[in-house]
Structure formats: structure tokens, C-alpha cells
Amino acid sequence: DRDQALHYPGAAKLSSPEESRGLNDGK
């Protein structure tokens, strides 16, 4: 999980790293 957090900031808070990318793209 920690590795994903590094590649996908905020992934730890979200259910999946994909959601993190979605939020970043939204901004």
C-alpha cells in the first residue's frame, strides 16, 4: 500500500489509486 501511495498521492485515503488519479485529473 505504501508503494501505491508514493505513485498515487492520496491513494491511502481513497479505496483505490485509480480514484486518486480521477481527483487529480478533475483539478
**Each residue's pLDDT tens digit, 4-13:** 556 666 555 6
Predicted local distance difference test score (pLDDT) of residue 14 = 58
What lies within 8 Å, CB to CB, of 14 at 6+ separation is 20, 23
State pLDDT tens for residues 9-25. Answer: 655 565 566 665 666 66
Query: Dihedral of CA 7/4/12/20: which sign?
Result: positive
Domain carrying residue 25: 1-27
Domain count, the chain: 1
